[in-house]
Structure 1
Amino acid sequence: MSIHVLKSILVPFISLFVLFSSVILIPDRNILLLAGSALLLNISMWIEKKHPKVLVLQFVLLGLFHYASQLNWCLLLYYILITNVIQHSWKLKQMLPCALLITIQYSLIRLSYSPYTTYNIIVSVYDIISSLVIIYTLHTIIKIEMEKKSLTKQNKFLINHDPLTGFLNYEGYMKTVQQMTEELRSFRIVLLDINNFKSLNAKDITSANEILIRFSVHIRRHFKNMHAAARYAGDRFAILLPGNEPVNGLSSFDDLGVQITFSITSYPEEAGSFQEVINMAEDRVFQMRRETWLKSQEEFMRSAKMKTVGELAAGMAHEIRNPLTAIKGFVQLSKVQNYNIQPWYEVIMGEITRVGELTAEFLQFSKPHMSNMKVDCLRSCMTRVFSLCESEAASRGHTFTIDLPQEEVTVFMDRDKIIQVLINLIRNAFQAMDITGNVHFSLSIQNTWAVIQVEDTGKGIAAHDLDQIFDPFFTTKEEGTGLGLSLCQKIVEDHGGTIAVHSELQVGTVFTVRLPITTDTD
């Protein structure tokens, strides 16, 4: 039961009791003053909730009623009035003077109809002291209750709201949507998803929080007629709008430095229940975000391809310009000798051959697919490579060995392309050995993979060069084009395989090619 309801019951009861008691005990009382002050006091108690300023009038009316009744039983009404004062201002420094004044009023009026004896004076002092104790006790009780209500209100707010933005959290959002669907209210759910929030959060949590706060302020300004707004899952906002509210101008969120994906779902036009409208809204924003992600990936891939093409074109232009510059220089020199190019003929032809080789290797990158893909035997392919390179190994003085398994190993491949890759790796191994060395050529099976290794005992590759050897135009050879290993990597990857390298300086290098084994012989 509230204090206001309690006063509405107690004050009339106590007033009537005091009034009738005073008439019976003291017959010569002023009945008009007594009844009138009692009536006005009760009326002021009833209208106090709507007119708080009437509290001052209650102080005067209670004094008149007490003086007219000349009964100490009015003390209970004084305590009720003190309770009113504490309720309106429960801070001790503000309410204590008022409460003390009411207590003194009671004591003075009491002395006005009591004889001035030592006993009565001491009783009045005691009444003031006891009133102060009761005032402090009531103040403490009311203060505890007010703090309890405040904490309960804060707790309820935190349960259903996001502390950062002040919007509803996920639980509060669900409750609100469910309540609106149960009431059959027409509304729209607008879901806003910040696309780049994770990258912002990774850079600076404080900055990300500031963006969320600015984002929520922008939502309040932009959707002035919204029923409610919620923030959940870190970077997702939900706005509940009236069913006829237009949704436009969402591009204004770009000014905050964020990219958003949004979806709009209407109830009950598009969904007939609480769960349907929630699922439809979430599914739509997921699809929109997926499309945005796919577009960004396409743009990234296109940018990466253009970058690669640019690097290849720049490298190609640089590599071709060198031999052309040499040829141009020799032609200019030949002019001095009446265009006799005989002294430089071999050099010029060598440079022309180099340009041709560069162009041929560069064109390999433009072929998107293998042209003669079929299931073929890898053992016979490697045997063919061994026979082609054996004579070159002998001419250089190197030992060349091969190690093949007994069982057949079949791979879906373009035979000529794989032979090209293996010959390239073996010749690189021969060239890496300045003195007589050994090249070991082997094939093994690891689960569903055919593993080919070309191992040499050459000078090895420096650690800072290992990450670049597959880059176009990177070479450590004086006359290399820098496209051989890049082309090998492309061919192996076109076959669904991988190529890796392990090297130690002055120990040797191992190139490992892994190709998927197939059992399909069609």
Structure 2
Amino acid sequence: MFFRLMYHVVLPLYVGFILLSTISLGKDLNHVLLIIAGVTFIGSILIEPKFPRYLALFSTLQVTLLVFLHWFSQLNWCYSLYIILLSKLLFQHTLKVMKATFLGFVVITLYTMIRLSYTPSHLSSFFAIASDFLTSLAVVLIIQYIVEMEQQKNRLKEEKLRDEMRFENEKMKLLGELAAGLAHEIRNPLAIIQGFLQHSKTRSFNIEPWYELIYGEVERMNSLTVEFLQFAKPNPSAFDLIQVHHCLEKVRLLTETKSIHLGHRMIYTEFNENLFCRMDLDKMLQVLVNMINNALEAMDNKGTVTVKLSKDTQDAVIEIQDTGRGIHDKDLQDIFHPFFTTKTNGTGLGLSICQKIVQDHGGTIQVKSKLQQGTTFTIRLPLGDVA
């Protein structure tokens, strides 16, 4: 919009002002040629966008026409037209600083040659020439800076667009994997139920002895679909500024009974009460309860689950450490993948859901493990500003 106003409104008005003032002052060499040069110059500016392939030709034509306009008008005010045209050329043609400076000097040299043809040469004229060249240098450097900033901004926009497209592709790929995995997982219990029903129908069997099995398979399908729906992005409006310590205290109360029942000990230590994060409390409770339940189930013998809360620069750091059997190195890179599980009755969606919820909160989740020594999950959440 700025360039359209500059070159399609301001520039024609200034040329009109040059024509009017030249004719009024009676300084022009030829009225007709002056008007033709001015009108043709403006015409070339206005029609140039329609012929982008001939940009260099139009640029050369415009410089030539401006020289003629200056020659016929014999007004120093044409200097502004040279500066405006120079800025237009620099914006249109991507040039290095040295080439842009050279172009600026060429344009101002043309102006100086025409100016010297109708003004007497004395000391002040040479100082004026030096001033014109310094002004052109300043204009070139300023415009080059603006062009580089615009190019950098465009590069950042392109990178952001590529990242967004990459993210969308990865999301679609993940959804495809989830859909395929869910279909595969649901097909097995459906096949079992279908087999029992067909068998009972053809032989008139009473299926009551298999009620529990059939019900268990239906529950398994229900569990799969419920966990699959957990991948829905949390509603940002449900995010509140919550004390992380308060959240962990709730988690401790929710998991303490299971810990005692399994004969394990749970320790909540090294906590910082002054850490607040923006979160969906229900979703975060779901993550932390899932993580601690996994830790409790990973310990075959009596063990300890240690929960720590600390601060690292701008993040709240939650560590959940168990003394269980650990995770094989070959499995560590897959544990967050949907439907990957080492449990006989697991769906393989729990950790995937936890990772997604943490990422939706702007955080990260990492894992370290050693066989027969235990596993540590580390969750980082960005701290919120407390008003």
| TM > 0.5 fold call | yes
Match of 1:374 among 227, 231, 240: 240
Greater radius of gyration (CA)? 1
1:434 and 2:300 correspond = yes
| 3-state SS, counterpart of residue 267 of structure 1 | helix
Evaluate the alpha carbon distance shift between residue 276 and residue 413 of structure 1 in structure 2; reply closer, same or farther with a 3 A threshold. Answer: same
Q: Paired residue for 2:178?
A: 312
Given that 2:233 and 2:357 are in contact with CA atoms closer than 8 Å, whether structure 1 keeps it comes out as no
Match of 2:329 among 460, 463, 477: 463
Give 1:390 deviation, angstroms. 0.9
* Structure 2 CA distance for aligned equivalents of residues 397 and 332 of structure 1: 45
Deviation sequence 1:198-243 (CA, Å, 0-9, x none): xxxxxxxxxxxxxxxxxxxxxxxxxxxxxxxxxxxxxxxxxxxxx9
Given that 1:265 and 1:277 are in contact with CA atoms closer than 8 Å, whether structure 2 keeps it comes out as no
Given that 2:272 and 2:309 are in contact with CA atoms closer than 8 Å, whether structure 1 keeps it comes out as no
Give 1:281 deviation, angstroms. 2.4
**How many correspondences in the alignment?**
268
| 3-state SS, counterpart of residue 293 of structure 2 | helix
| 3-state SS, counterpart of residue 337 of structure 2 | coil
Deviation sequence 1:373-412 (CA, Å, 0-9, x none): 1111211211111111111111111112111536332221
1:388 and 2:268 correspond = no
1:415 and 2:290 correspond = no
Q: Paired residue for 2:11?
A: none
Evaluate the alpha carbon distance shift between residue 423 and residue 328 of structure 1 in structure 2; reply closer, same or farther with a 3 A threshold. Answer: same
Evaluate the alpha carbon distance shift between residue 448 and residue 305 of structure 1 in structure 2; reply closer, same or farther with a 3 A threshold. Answer: closer
Evaluate the alpha carbon distance shift between residue 294 and residue 380 of structure 1 in structure 2; reply closer, same or farther with a 3 A threshold. Answer: closer
| 3-state SS, counterpart of residue 454 of structure 1 | strand
Evaluate the alpha carbon distance shift between residue 307 and residue 406 of structure 1 in structure 2; reply closer, same or farther with a 3 A threshold. Answer: closer
Give 1:430 deviation, angstroms. 1.2
Q: Paired residue for 1:472?
A: 338
Structure with the bigger percentage of helix: 2
Report percent identity of matched pairs: 44
Match of 2:225 among 356, 359, 362: 359
1:496 and 2:362 correspond = yes
The residue type equivalent to 2:343 in the other structure is K
Give 1:457 deviation, angstroms. 0.8
Give structure 2 stretches of 5+ with no counterpart.
1-39, 41-47, 64-82, 95-146
5 Å-filtered alignment, 1:21-32, equals none
1:267 and 2:59 correspond = yes
The residue type equivalent to 1:267 in the other structure is S
Match of 1:321 among 170, 173, 187: 187
Given that 1:455 and 1:509 are in contact with CA atoms closer than 8 Å, whether structure 2 keeps it comes out as yes
Q: Paired residue for 1:281?
A: 93
* Structure 2 CA distance for aligned equivalents of residues 292 and 519 of structure 1: 31
Q: 1 or 2 for the larger relative contact order (CA 8 Å, sep ≥6)?
A: 2
Give 1:294 deviation, angstroms. 6.1
Given that 1:432 and 1:459 are in contact with CA atoms closer than 8 Å, whether structure 2 keeps it comes out as yes
5 Å-filtered alignment, 1:84-483, equals 266-267=58-59, 272-274=84-86, 276-282=88-94, 283=147, 286=151, 297=163, 299-336=165-202, 338-367=204-233, 369-405=235-271, 407-483=273-349
The residue type equivalent to 2:59 in the other structure is Y
The residue type equivalent to 2:92 in the other structure is M
Evaluate the alpha carbon distance shift between residue 334 and residue 360 of structure 1 in structure 2; reply closer, same or farther with a 3 A threshold. Answer: same
* Structure 1 CA distance for aligned equivalents of residues 284 and 57 of structure 2: 56
Give 1:458 deviation, angstroms. 0.8
Deviation sequence 1:134-193 (CA, Å, 0-9, x none): xxxxxxxxxxxxxxxxxxxxxxxxxxxxxxxxxxxxxxxxxxxxxxxxxxxx9xxxxxxx
Give 1:265 deviation, angstroms. 9.2
The residue type equivalent to 2:375 in the other structure is T
Query: Normalised by the size of structure 1, how large is the TM-score?
Result: 0.46
Q: Paired residue for 1:68?
A: none
Given that 1:398 and 1:438 are in contact with CA atoms closer than 8 Å, whether structure 2 keeps it comes out as yes
Match of 1:506 among 364, 372, 380: 372
Deviation sequence 1:469-504 (CA, Å, 0-9, x none): 111111111111111111111111111111110001
Give 1:295 deviation, angstroms. 5.8
* Structure 2 CA distance for aligned equivalents of residues 352 and 364 of structure 1: 19
The residue type equivalent to 1:383 in the other structure is E
Deviation sequence 1:408-439 (CA, Å, 0-9, x none): 32221111111110000001111111222111
Give structure 1 stretches of 5+ with no counterpart.
1-185, 187-242, 250-262
* Structure 2 CA distance for aligned equivalents of residues 419 and 295 of structure 1: 34
| 3-state SS, counterpart of residue 514 of structure 1 | strand
